[in-house]
Amino acid sequence: MKIRRLKWLGVFMMMLLFVLIGRLVDIQLWNTESFSKHQVNLIEASVKQRSQVLTVDDGRGKFYDRDGEPLTHEEKQVLVLFPFLKKMEWPADEVASILGIREDQLRQEILNQKKPFAFGGNQPLELNEYQSKAINNLKIPGVFAVKQKFNSQTMLAGQLLGLTVQYSSLPKERYPDLELLPDTRVGDKGLQRTFDEFLLSSGESKLVFHVDANGGPMFGVDVKYVEPANPLYPVKVITTLDKELQETAEKIVDNYQIKKGGLILLDIEKSEILASVSRPVLDKMQPNGSGAINHMFTQHVPGSVFKTIIAAAAIDYESAPPQRMFDCNQTIDGKEEKQRPLGMLNFQNSFSQSCNRAFAEVSQEIAKKDANFFETYADKLAITQYSGWQGNLYHSAFKQLYGEQSGTIWKDQAELKKDPKMIAKTAIGQLNVQVTPLAVANMMATIARGGEKQMVKAVKKVEFNNGTSAIDFPKKEIDQNTISPYTAMKLQELLRSVVNEPKGTGASLKDLPYTVAGKSGTAQINITEGKLNKWFAGYFPYENPKYALVAVNLDTTENTRGMVAVFAEMVKAIYTMNHENSSKEG
């Protein structure tokens, strides 16, 4: 019996030994790069145990403004210190002397560090060329001057550029053919999302320093610089934004305490976005909160801005000759106008003073001839189409702008176009009319260009890391269905009258350094709560159009200032910048 137990014990020990040997083989030979259900790379983990690493660049592509200025990051020459310095003697006094700081400042910052870091905390000290060279010439183990990329503390054009998240938080079917590590950053919204496949990291650039069991340097002063194998990456996405204009636009929007809304500025000739601000602010800690919506690309009730569409139809149908007068003491349904009685006005003054009655009458008359004229002229001025650049890239459909919506006139209630009352409400940009600020800005640009409809770009090109171009985005027309040059000219005159006429809704813009043409709009969106959308859309200079601008305050009240003031501030800021830049060049 005793012998049998010993045999079974021996068999058990042999089996246990085989299991342990098998496990060792599994770890050492078979699953070294994907150990356990967590897919741990044991080789990398082993290297990490005996290495101290500082990431200089995460390898993901970066965004730049039209002049090459970084938008989402900063590049600084910094002092990198490794934590093992606190365990060894090193000439801290010499380094401090080069930096112009006290030696104890240098030593103190190292004491609580466990990983390599850039000296200076959240705002690393930026070194000049002399300091960098002098420090590296000392050849001190664990002390290096390097150029490092940092994420910007402030988010410019947050909703337009978007955010990144770790790949592990997304459904894996997005990139089924790519082997991405769980901590790889991928685009979540904005241009980060639409250009994600170009921006994906092909490997980090980092400093690797090997240490012994005590955390000290193993190989003297040698540090290994590791960078992606492909020198073409990371790519640079050159946007159409002007960093200085973007910063100014954000300040203006915040100074006027716009809680929901913002502004968008276009370069008319190039059909490019120069600045785009949406509020609420995009919060990195709550990426799916209210700040995630780009209100410049989403539908909103436009109010009287939509009268520009009716004016285009009225010009073509000759429904508003100069001698025709409209009773602007009446509402759209013929009742007494108590809030804004304007008297008898011709069509131009009806446009400049925003008389609802005139546009209700004209629309009802045109609708008897063409029930679809709203859609026709909205299409001619691209106000209900997608404005953002789209086309084929590598034989696949591609859109630059994330989350852009098209506009709508009737929604799913086409039967309403037969009702004169509904026609009147639609004519003044109410009822079911919904458009995006981007589309309104593009409408103004189209009119300023004499009727030429173009797609709007947010990105000019994608460059490889060596400066060669990977993709260029050319100018593209939306389509050929547009207003005639004559209609565009008459619309230009009407838009100018809004500012030029003494009683025009934009008369306060008359004395700006640039001549302005435009249209105001106030839309009722909740009568019970007194909620309004306030707009001003236009272009400037009138004689030689360069900029189209839309400012909008959404879900606001009667007590808040109109958008004419915001529009004026932006115009003055642009003039000042252009004047200063001209002086510098001169």
Q: Catalytic residue numbers?
A: 304
Q: Which residues pair with 391 in a beta bridge?
A: 398
3-class secondary-structure state, position 287 = coil
* Three-point CA angle 52, 54, 60, nearest 5°: 135
Q: Tokens standing for 96?
A: 């401090």
Q: Tokens standing for 473?
A: 């985005």
Number of residues in the chain:
586
3-class secondary-structure state, position 132 = helix
Query: Which of 567, 28, 52 minimizes the C-alpha distance to 258?
Result: 567
Measured over the CA atoms of residue 103, residue 104, residue 109 and residue 111, the dihedral's sign is positive
Q: Are 374 and 381 in contact (CB under 8 A)?
A: no
Query: Which of 457, 514, 547 minimizes the C-alpha distance to 245?
Result: 547
What is the Cα–Cα distance from 195 to 132, expressed in whole angstroms?
A: 35
Pairing of strands 73-81, 143-151: antiparallel
Query: Which of 50, 556, 472 minimizes the C-alpha distance to 260?
Result: 556
Complete DSSP assignment for 160-198 = HH--EEEGGGS-GGGSTTS---TT-EEE-SHHHHHTHHH
Omega of the bond leading into 141 within 30 degrees of 0 (cis)? no
Query: Which of 160, 186, 185 minimizes the C-alpha distance to 249?
Result: 160
Q: Tokens standing for 177?
A: 């053919």
Query: Which of 194, 177, 170 minimizes the C-alpha distance to 61?
Result: 194
Q: Which residues pair with 238 in a beta bridge?
A: 64, 461
